[in-house]
């Protein structure tokens, strides 16, 4: 008899799992349960919908024919209760789904703001396509928006609403933008570009309360005593894994659903992947949270295979994200951060706790204008990097981190002359990485991207 | 960008090696996805003048080796996450 797989969620982890299950089990029955009313779409692409770089139809990552070929039954419903003992999922509409194996890929949800007036119509967050539609609807009618929060989602809101012709005020609780990940100079690059574009930054300022009439937002009163008339207040103060189902089912839950490297939860037939999962890192023993899209994809793929009876470990990959901050493409990889961030109560989307740098690291940075490279090094190697603007060095740097290239032969030189550290490092790296950079004829790679390899 | 005007760079790679490389790539290169960067936003496919589904290639980790691809670089330039690159086709020496 064929297996019945039930997948809860419809983000990238759920899609990747569905495809992996189908690839491994042609006969299995796959049911996907989600409250999301739309077909599979790219969540990160919502930022580009806001900026007008993409029309909405382009967001959908599978055609109806592809979904049909995948052979999944999709139920638009809320999963209310999971009963692992009887292998059942109860839906809010009263249906009961039996399963052989079940995947929780319910993602993370934005935190509600805590200020008075947060319930007013016009106070919005950005989790899903319908949120983006609401934001755009308001952007069409109104002139002024206030954004609060941190990380990449807050900037997506700032940039998107600005691109839609709104006058945008960005309130920062702290002195600068995203101190958990960026250094002071990188934050300044972002702040300068926003200011030059006409965004008004309010550092060390919070929403004291949102003011409205008949349930509708009309203005924001700040802790600096300013009243900003606005009809849109967009909030991105962090996200939290959706844990209700797992918790009520008695599964082991920490800050996420705790899973093995094969994505198995504390019940033999229940698995979790994506933002909701908290993977144990076999190297460190910790279970850091991350909300990186690429992690969710890798976990979904591994979980799908495991569900189908091919246990597949999902190794903790180098935490890497590429995002655009005030128009500057920025690669963030490895251990780069560490500061406190008053704007974020939890992780933002597209962030990893593994970005936090250990003590005993040091930094080399070089840059010009919005092009900047910052490397974080320990005794022996590069452990993290932030590359802003010009990206032609970002792949080699990522390889340096990923391959743990030993820099000890030049460490003394690097430390002696910080100005020359980055060029010297790359001269060394080019030689070390030569076999990677210059693959066999016809092979793939990125030849000639390192300066010294350009001929 | 004036390709004709910059043609001299092909003969003087030392002056502007990256521009010279870019011209070579336009003449004989292909687009390949960079692992771990793509979030399937689809800006690449949306901007391809020939309607090639670049996003689908990236999902599978496959280079664009379609004959139709002009290696114009529109997808590479528009990608907001540096998830695509122009790769020089290497011929065995």
Residue A350 backbone class (left: φ over 0; alpha: ψ -120 to 50; beta: rest): left
Q: Torsion angle, CA of A284/A287/A292/A297, rounded to 10 degrees? A: 90
Once rounded to an integer, what is the mean pLDDT over residues B30-58? 94
- Give the per-residue pLDDT at A157: 97
Contacts of A401 (CB under 8 A, 6+ apart): A318, A333, A334, A381, A382, A383, A384, A385
Structure tokens at A174: 């702290």
Q: Which residue does chain A place closest to B43, by CA atoms?
A: A54
The kind and range of the H/E element at A234 are: strand A232-236
Q: Please tell me the distance in Å from B67's CA to the nearest CA on chain A.
A: 16
Residue A132 has pLDDT above 50, yes or no: yes
CA A84/CA A250 separation, integer angstroms: 9
Q: Is the pLDDT of residue A431 over 80?
A: no
- Among A381-385, A389-393, B23-27, B40-44, the minimum mean pLDDT is found in B23-27
* Contact with chain B for residue A299, Cβ under 8 A: no
Inter-residue contact A136 to A219 (CB < 8 Å): no
* Maximum mean pLDDT: which of A101-105, A403-407, A441-445: A101-105
pLDDT at position A378, please? Answer: 83
- Work out the mean pLDDT of chain A and round it to a whole number: 88
pLDDT at A412: 78
Backbone angles phi, psi at A163, to 5 degrees: -65, -25
Q: Which two tokens stand for residue B80?
A: 């907001």
Instruction: Taking residues A313-320, report their average pLDDT.
Output: 83
Higher per-residue pLDDT: A191 or B4: A191
Q: What is the mean pLDDT of residues A288-308?
A: 93
Provide the pLDDT for residue A340. 65
Q: Which of A5-14, A263-272, A324-333 has the lowest mean pLDDT?
A: A324-333
β-pair partners for A377? A362, A382
Provide mean pLDDT across the span B36-45: 95
A48, A441, A449: residue with CB nearest B92? A441
Choose among B32, B41, B59: nearest Cβ to A48. B41
Q: What pLDDT, on the 0 to 100 scale, is given for residue B1?
A: 35
Query: Which residues on adjacent β-strands are paired with residue A293?
Result: none
Contact B91 A322 (CB under 8 A): no
Query: Are the beta carbons of B39 and A45 separated by less than 8 Å?
Result: yes
pLDDT over 70 (residue A339): no
CA A405/CA A380 separation, integer angstroms: 8
Question: How does residue B21 score in pLDDT terms, banded at 50, 70 and 90?
Answer: low
Instruction: Quote the ipTM score.
Output: 0.86
Are B46 and A58 within 8 A, CB to CB? Answer: yes
CB A285 within 8 A of CB A265: no
pTM of the entire predicted model: 0.87
Query: What are the tens digits of pLDDT across the range A364-393?
Result: 777 778 888 888 888 788 889 999 998 877
A394 touches chain B (CB under 8 A): yes
Looking at the predicted structure, is the pLDDT value of residue A394 above 90?
A: no
Dihedral angle of Cα A240, A244, A248, A254, to the nearest 10 degrees: -10
Residues A279 and A299: beta-carbon distance below 8 Å? yes
Contact A326, A147 (CB under 8 A): no
Instruction: Say how far apart CA A4 and CA B25 lie, in whole Å.
Output: 49
Q: Cβ contact (<8 Å) for B93 and A441? A: yes
User: Which position has the higher pLDDT, A287 or A202?
Assistant: A202
3-state helix, strand, coil in chain A (%, to 5): 30, 30, 40
Mean pLDDT of A331-350: 69
State which residue of chain B sits closest to A326, comparing Cα positions: B80
| Structure tokens belonging to residue A207 | 């929403």
Tens digit of each residue's pLDDT (9 = 90 or more) over A71-100: 999 999 999 999 999 999 999 999 999 999
Reported as a pLDDT band with limits 50, 70 and 90, residue A203 is: very high
Is the four-CA dihedral B42, B47, B53, B55 of positive or negative sign?
negative
Q: What whole-number distance in Å separates Cα of residue A258 and Cα of residue A261?
A: 10
Q: Among A295, A293, A424, which residue's Cα sits nearest to residue A350?
A: A293
Percent of chain B with pLDDT over 70: 67
Q: Which residue of A has its CA nearest to B62?
A: A444
Which pLDDT score is estimated for A93? 95
A271 falls in which pLDDT band (50, 70, 90)?
very high
Contact A338, A356 (CB under 8 A): yes
Interchain pair A324, B80: CB under 8 A: yes
Give the minimum alpha-carbon distance from A438 to chain B in angstroms, rounded to a whole number. 10
CB of B63 closer than 8 Å to CB of B31: yes
Q: Which two tokens stand for residue A347?
A: 């992780």
Taking 70 as the threshold, does the pLDDT of residue A147 lie above it?
Answer: yes
Asked whether residue B93 carries a pLDDT value surpassing 50, the answer given is no
- DSSP string of A163-185? HTT-EEEEE-SSSSS-TTTS-HH
CB contact under 8 A, B41 and A322: no
Task: Check whether A439 has a pLDDT greater than 80.
Answer: no
Among A65-69, A188-192, A276-280, A446-450, the minimum mean pLDDT is found in: A446-450
- Range A440-448 average pLDDT: 37
The pLDDT value given to residue A142 = 67
Question: What is the pLDDT at residue A355?
Answer: 57
A278 and A255 in contact (C-beta within 8 Å)? yes
Beta strands in A182-339 (DSSP E): 200-202, 207-213, 216-222, 227-229, 232-236, 239-241, 257-259, 270-272, 277-279, 320-325, 328-334
Euclidean distance between CA atoms A326 and A373, whole angstroms: 17
Question: What pLDDT is recorded for position A354?
Answer: 61
């Amino acid at each position: 008899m064929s297996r019945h797989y039930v997948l809860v969620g419809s983000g990238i982890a759920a899609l990747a799992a569905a495809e992996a299950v189908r690839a491994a089990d042609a006969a299995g029955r796959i049911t996907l349960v989600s409250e999301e009313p739309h077909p599979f779409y790219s969540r990160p692409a919502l930022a580009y919908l806001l900026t007008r770089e993409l029309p909405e139809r382009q967001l959908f990552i599978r055609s109806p024919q592809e979904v049909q070929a995948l052979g999944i039954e999709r139920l638009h419903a809320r999963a209310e209760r999971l009963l692992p003992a009887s292998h059942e999922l109860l839906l809010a509409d009263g249906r009961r789904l039996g399963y052989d194996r079940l995947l929780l890929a319910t993602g993370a949800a934005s935190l509600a703001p805590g200020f008075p007036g947060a319930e007013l119509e016009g106070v919005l967050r950005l989790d899903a396509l319908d949120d983006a539609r609401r934001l755009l609807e308001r952007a069409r009618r109104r002139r002024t928006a206030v954004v609060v929060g941190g990380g990449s989602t807050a900037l997506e809101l700032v940039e998107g609403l600005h691109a839609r012709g709104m006058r945008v005020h960005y309130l920062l609780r702290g002195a600068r933008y995203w101190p958990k990940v960026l250094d002071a100079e990188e934050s300044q690059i972002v702040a300068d570009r926003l200011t030059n574009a006409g965004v008004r930054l309010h550092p060390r300022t919070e929403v004291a309360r949102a003011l409205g009439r008949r349930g509708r937002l009309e203005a924001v009163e700040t802790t600096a005593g300013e009243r900003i008339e606005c009809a849109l207040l967009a909030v991105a103060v962090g996200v939290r894994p959706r844990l209700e189902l797992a918790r009520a089912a008695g599964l082991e839950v920490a800050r996420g659903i705790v899973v093995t490297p094969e994505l198995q939860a504390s019940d033999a037939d229940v698995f979790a992947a994506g933002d909701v999962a908290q993977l144990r890192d076999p190297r460190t023993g910790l279970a850091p949270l991350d909300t990186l899209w690429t992690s969710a994809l890798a976990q979904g793929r591994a979980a799908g295979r495991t569900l189908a009876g091919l246990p597949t470990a999902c190794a903790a990959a180098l935490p890497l994200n590429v995002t655009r901050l005030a128009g500057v493409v920025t690669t963030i990889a490895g251990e780069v951060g560490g500061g406190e961030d008053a704007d974020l109560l939890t992780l933002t989307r597209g962030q990893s706790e593994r970005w936090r740098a250990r003590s005993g690291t040091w930094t080399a940075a070089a840059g010009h204008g919005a092009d900047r490279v910052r490397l974080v090094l320990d005794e022996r190697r590069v452990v993290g990097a932030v590359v802003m603007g010009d990206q032609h060095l970002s792949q080699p740097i990522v390889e340096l981190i990923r391959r743990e290239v030993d820099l000890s032969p030049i460490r003394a030189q690097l430390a002696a002359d910080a100005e020359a550290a980055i060029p010297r490092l790359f001269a060394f790296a080019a030689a070390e990485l030569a076999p990677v950079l210059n693959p066999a004829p016809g092979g793939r790679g990125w030849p000639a991207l390192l300066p010294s390899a350009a001929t | 960008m004036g390709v004709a005007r910059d043609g001299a760079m092909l003969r003087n790679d030392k002056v502007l090696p990256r521009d010279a490389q870019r011209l070579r790539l336009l003449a004989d290169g292909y687009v390949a996805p960079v692992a771990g960067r793509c979030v399937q936003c689809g800006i690449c496919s949306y901007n391809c003048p020939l309607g090639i589904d670049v996003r689908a290639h990236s999902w599978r980790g496959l280079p664009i080796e379609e004959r139709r691809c002009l290696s114009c670089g529109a997808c590479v330039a528009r990608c907001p996450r540096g998830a695509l690159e122009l790769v020089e086709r290497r011929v065995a020496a």
